[in-house]
């Protein structure tokens, strides 16, 4: 071989190298499998295959899961192909051993092994990555082949012996072999037809169930949206009602405060009016006494007027002091107090203007009564101070009560505002949780849909590969059969003619199968439209 290493199927299983040995390549051709289909592939190769060989910096999670699914499917298919090629290679070796050790026997292609023993299926072990790994079965002698595996008929129906097997068989055995091939082909076609109809019925049921589930999910989603909108409207209405109730309560409280303020203002105004009336009364009494003294003695008139003037000055001074202090304590009554103060000053100025000319005459008499007037002034100042202190205490108490009421109202407003903010935050949090849950559910459905699409694509690719493998296998069997027929002598020409007729019959059966499949396709399409899959048995028997 020129030093070139030959790679057998066992070496390919262990190392993953490409098969190059003649018997392994022959087994691949008889199985309709390309040697490249036995090469292992990694997940990264499937990732980059989807991008046309270009490298990507980042892949999404769904793309990675799809690549893992494709690699797992490819690995399972590769293990099955390795097992099939290994069995075919063992059959080739067994045929060669039998032809070398025993008498001439009829050539029996592996595709028609009905009575000969079959090697057991390859064992599968579960690897750490949960992929099925094929192990080559041990070599067995001819005495160990006691059982026949009828389940491999679909894979072995159309195989033929390699060209190097010695052809020494009776003519009748070959004819019987072809007849069995034809009968098994018809049986296989019937099974394929039944499988196609059952697969279409199953797909239709799955599609119907998916449509029903999608409609149910849409209905649940619409109901959830309606409930969510109703809850939102209810929350908005309750919030508006609470705000209106709070506003009405605040308006009532403000009206009550205005009423109490008005009552206090009325009380204070009445007190000021009473004080003014009492002052006017005292002034009137003083004027009356002055008039009486003027009537009694004209001599004492000037003295009495001076005394009254001085008394009025004291009263005006005390009143001014009280009004000044009251003006500082009551800011709301400042304008009225100033007005009364200016009026008192104007009256005092007018009285001073009238009595100024008599002040010089009564100066000596005023000195004598100075002590008495000072004592009266002190008592009046004491009384004014007591009134001022009492007024200040009342004002302070009212201001303190107002501050307490204002603090209570502010605390209530803060509590109501905090409660509204907490409720709004809770609603926002709940809404965010619902939206996140919907987004996760939608992402999960999208992921499941994409993975389902990948699985469907893999199933289609597997069917296409199976059809292509069967085509290659049949082509190889046909070439082998033609080579065998062309090498036979003149004595077997009659049998060759019979075989040719059988081949034509097989071709006719294949053509009938294609026509039947076409009619089955039309019938399946009609069943899809009518959705009456319970009648597919009747249609199968009719076809």
> CA 393 to CA 390: how far, in whole Å?
5
Would you give the distance in Å from CA 176 to the centre of its chain?
67
The least confident of 99-103, 110-114, 455-459 is 110-114
Q: Select the more confidently predicted residue: 519 or 102.
A: 519
174 or 273, higher pLDDT: 273
Residue owning tokens 């069943």: 527
Q: What is the pLDDT at residue 3?
A: 52
> 436-482 pLDDT, tens per residue?
888 888 888 888 888 888 888 888 888 888 888 888 888 888 888 77
CA–CA dist 144, 119 (Å, integer): 9
DSSP lists the bridge partners of residue 126 as 132
Residue 124 is given by DSSP the state E
Output the pLDDT for position 157: 37
d(CA 228, CA 156): 62
pLDDT of residue 333: 65
Mean pLDDT for 292-310 is 70
At 540, is the pLDDT very low, low, confident or very high (cuts 50, 70, 90)?
A: low
What burial class does residue 517 get, using C-beta atoms within 10 Å of its C-beta: 0-12 exposed, 13-18 middle, 19+ buried? Answer: middle
State pLDDT tens for residues 13-37.
777 788 888 888 888 888 888 888 8
Per-residue model confidence (pLDDT) at position 491? 58
Which range, 105-109, 240-244, 308-312, has the best average confidence (pLDDT)?
A: 240-244
Contact 125, 135 (CB under 8 A): yes
Beta-carbon contacts of 109 under 8 Å, excluding residues fewer than 6 positions away, are 159, 160, 161, 477, 480
pLDDT in the model for residue 171: 56
pLDDT tens-digit series, residues 173-212: 666 777 787 788 778 777 877 777 777 777 777 877 888 8
Q: Do 427 and 235 meet the contact criterion of CB atoms below 8 Å apart?
A: yes
C-alpha distances in angstroms, 463 versus 89, 186, 400, 457, 517? 24, 20, 93, 10, 15
Per-residue pLDDT averaged across 241-265, rounded?
Answer: 87
- Give the pLDDT band of residue 126 (cuts 50, 70, 90): very low
Q: How far apart are CA 122 and CA 453, in angstroms?
A: 31
Q: What is the pLDDT of residue 538?
A: 66
Q: What is the dihedral of CA 72, 76, 79, 84, to 10 degrees?
A: -150
* Distance of alpha carbon 233 from the chain centroid: 23
Of 151, 133, 161, give the one whose Cα is nearest residue 40: 133
Whether the full predicted model's pTM is greater than 0.95, yes or no, is no
What is the Cα 408 distance to its own chain's centre?
Answer: 45
Question: Two tokens at 470?
Answer: 């069967």
**Nearest by Cα to 292 from 304, 278, 309:** 304
| Mean pLDDT score of the chain | 73
pLDDT score, position 431: 85
| pLDDT of 147 | 35
- Per-position b or e across 403-441, b if 16+ CB within 10 A of its CB: eeeeeeeeeeeeeeeeeeeeeeeeeeeeeeeeeeeeeee
Nearest in space to 540 (alpha carbons), one of 510, 526, 519, 525? 519
**Which H/E stretch holds residue 116?**
none
Separation of alpha carbons 17 and 39, rounded Å: 7
* Mean pLDDT, residues 78-103: 79
pLDDT at 153: 36
- Residues whose CB is less than 8 angstroms from the CB of residue 504 and which lie 6 or more positions away in sequence, other chains included: none
Q: How many whole angstroms separate alpha carbon 484 and alpha carbon 491?
A: 14
pLDDT digits (tens, 9 = 90+) for 54-66: 554 567 777 788 8
For residue 115, what pLDDT band results from cuts at 50, 70 and 90? very low
pLDDT at 77 over 60: yes
Query: Quick check: 422 pLDDT over 60?
Result: yes
**CA gap 416, 246 in Å, rounded:** 9
How far from each other are the two terminal CA atoms of the chain, in whole angstroms? 55
Contact 41, 91 (CB under 8 A): no
**Residue 132, pLDDT above cutoff 60:** no
More confident call, 527 vs 420: 420
Inter-helix orientation angle 301-329/334-359, to 10°? 160
Structure tokens at 73: 């499917």
Q: Is the pLDDT of residue 432 over 80?
A: yes
Q: What is the pLDDT of residue 112?
A: 34
Q: What is the distance between the alpha carbons of residues 380 and 366, in angstroms, rounded to a whole number?
A: 18
């Amino acid at each position: 071989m020129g030093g070139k290493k030959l790679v057998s199927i066992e070496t390919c299983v262990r190392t993953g190298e490409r098969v190059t040995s003649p018997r392994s390549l022959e087994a691949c051709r008889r199985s309709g499998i390309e040697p490249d289909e036995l090469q292992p592939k990694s997940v990264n190769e499937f990732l980059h295959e989807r991008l046309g060989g270009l490298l990507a910096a980042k892949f999404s999670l769904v793309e990675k899961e799809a690549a893992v699914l494709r690699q797992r499917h490819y690995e399972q298919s590769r293990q099955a192909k390795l097992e099939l090629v290994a069995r075919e290679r063992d059959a080739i070796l067994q045929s060669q051993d039998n032809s070398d050790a025993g008498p001439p026997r009829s050539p029996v292609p592996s595709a028609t092994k009905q009575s000969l023993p079959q090697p057991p299926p390859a064992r599968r072990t579960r690897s750490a990555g949960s992929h099925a790994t094929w192990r080559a079965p041990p070599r067995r002698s001819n005495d160990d082949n006691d059982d026949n595996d009828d389940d491999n008929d679909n894979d072995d129906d159309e195989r033929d012996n390699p060209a190097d097997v010695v052809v020494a068989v009776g003519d009748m055995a070959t004819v019987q072999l072809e007849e069995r091939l034809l009968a098994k082909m018809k049986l296989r076609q019937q099974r394929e037809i039944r499988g196609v109809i059952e697969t279409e019925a199953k797909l239709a049921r799955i599609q119907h169930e998916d449509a029903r589930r999608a409609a149910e999910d849409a209905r649940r989603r619409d109901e959830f949206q309606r409930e969510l909108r109703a809850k939102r409207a209810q929350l908005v209405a309750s919030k508006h009602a609470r705000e209106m109730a709070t506003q009405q309560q605040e308006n009532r409280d403000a009206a009550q405060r205005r009423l109490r303020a008005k009552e206090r203002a009325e009380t204070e105004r009445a007190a000021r009016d009473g004080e003014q009336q009492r002052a006017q009364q005292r002034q009137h009494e003083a004027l009356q006494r002055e008039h009486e003294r003027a009537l009694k003695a004209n001599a004492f008139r000037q003295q009495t007027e001076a005394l009254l003037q001085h008394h009025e000055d004291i009263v005006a001074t005390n009143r001014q002091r009280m009004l000044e202090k009251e003006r500082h304590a009551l800011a709301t009554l400042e304008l009225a107090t100033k007005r009364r103060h200016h009026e008192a000053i104007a009256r005092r100025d007018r009285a001073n203007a009238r009595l100024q000319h008599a002040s010089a005459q009564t100066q000596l008499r005023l000195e004598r009564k100075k002590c008495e007037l000072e004592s009266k002034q002190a008592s009046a100042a004491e009384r004014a101070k007591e009134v001022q202190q009492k007024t200040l205490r009342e004002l302070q108490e009212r201001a303190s009560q107002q501050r307490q009421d204002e603090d209570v109202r502010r605390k209530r407003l803060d509590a109501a505002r905090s409660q509204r903010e907490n409720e709004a935050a809770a609603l926002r949090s709940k809404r965010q949780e619902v939206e996140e849950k919907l987004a996760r559910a939608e992402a999960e459905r999208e992921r499941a849909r994409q993975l389902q699409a990948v699985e469907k694509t893999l199933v289609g690719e597997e069917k296409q590969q199976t059809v292509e493998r069967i085509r290659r296998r049949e082509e190889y069997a046909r070439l082998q059969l033609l080579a065998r027929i062309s090498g036979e002598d003149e004595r077997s020409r009659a049998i060759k003619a019979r075989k040719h007729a059988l081949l034509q019959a097989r071709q006719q059966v294949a053509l009938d199968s294609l026509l039947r499949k076409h009619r089955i396709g039309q019938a399946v399409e009609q069943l899809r439209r009518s959705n009456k899959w319970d009648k597919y048995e009747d249609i199968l028997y009719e076809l």
